[in-house]
Amino acid sequence: MSAHIRVEQDGAVVWVTIDRQDNKNALTQEMYGALADALVAYGADDSQRVMVITGAGDMFTAGNDLGDFATGDRADEEPPVWRFLGAIRDCEKPLIAAVNGAGVGVGLTLLLHCDLVCMALTARVSAPFARLALVPEAASSLLLPATVGMAMANDILLAGRELTAAEAVQFGLASRIYPDGELMAEVGALAKAMAGASPRSLAGSKRLIRMGREEVAERMLVESKLFRDRLLSPDFAESIAAMKEKRAPIYE
C-alpha cells in the first residue's frame, strides 16, 4: 500500500484519498497499484458497500506523474496503471467521485467509471493528452463522446478544453455541485444513504445500467498500446524536457 493513498472505512463507506499534496496529488505507478488493491479489496469485503474517491487538500489529482512514467519499467506485462483501470472498470459496487479541486488527465477520465460524480463549485477538469504528446486512456476515447457528445469530447481530448463544475454537470460528466466547504459532508451523507440500500439491488442496477459496454475493455487495450508507444516516442521525451526546462514543447 502506498503512503500516498489513504484508505479509511467509516461504517459501510470506504474513503480512498489521493494524498500527495507536495506534487499536486500526481499519481505514480506505485499509487496506481495501491488504488487497484483498494478496489479489489472493496469488491471482496461485504462490510464495504460504497466507495468514495477524492483528493487531499485543494487538488483532486494532477494526473500521471510523467517523470515516474518516463523512468518506469514499461516492459512490465501488466503495469499497475492498467491493473487500476481494469479494477475500476470491473467494479460491481457503487463508486462516488468527490472532485474537490482540479482534475487533470486521469483526474477526468476515471470519472467515466464512477457511478456518481460530485464536484466542488470551483473544481475544474481537463484531459490535455495531445499537449503532452500522449493519447487518451481509461477508454475515454469511447466513453467521453458517449457521455458529453462528440463535439465536446473533441474539444476536451484534442483541444484540451477545461470544464468548470457547472459545465461538467451541463454536459453530463457530473451530476452534483456543492460549495467547496460542504463537498465532503454532502458526499458523506449521500454515500451513507446509498449504503443503506440493498447491496444486491445496487449491484444489479449497476450491471443493468452498464449493459452494452462490452467494447470498453477492448478500447482500453487499444489505448494502452498506443499510450505505451507514445511514452517511448521522441515527442514524449520532448514533452518531459520542456516541462523540466519550463518552456513550450517543440514537436516536429
Q: Give residue 121's pLDDT.
A: 99
Q: Give residue 240's pLDDT.
A: 92
Burial track 153-165 (b if 16+ CB lie within 10 A, e otherwise):
bebbbeeebbbeb
In a domain, 247, yes or no: no
C-alpha cell at 146: 458517449
What residues make up the domain containing 95? 5-180
Q: Give residue 66's pLDDT.
A: 85
Ranges under pLDDT 50 in the chain: none
**What is the pTM assigned to this prediction?**
0.95
Q: Give residue 214's pLDDT.
A: 85
Number of domains observed in the structure of the chain: 1
In a domain, 211, yes or no: no
Q: Give residue 147's pLDDT.
A: 98
In a domain, 25, yes or no: yes
**Rounded Cα distance, 246 and 69, in Å:** 19
Angle of the 29-44 helix axis to the 80-90 helix axis, nearest 10: 30
Q: Give residue 72's pLDDT.
A: 62
| The dihedral sign for the CA sequence 34, 36, 41, 47 | positive
Q: What is the CATH number of the domain that holds 80?
A: 3.90.226.10
pLDDT digits (tens, 9 = 90+) for 141-174: 999 999 999 999 999 999 999 999 999 999 999 9
Strand partners, 55: 18
In a domain, 204, yes or no: no
In a domain, 112, yes or no: yes
Q: Give residue 73's pLDDT.
A: 53
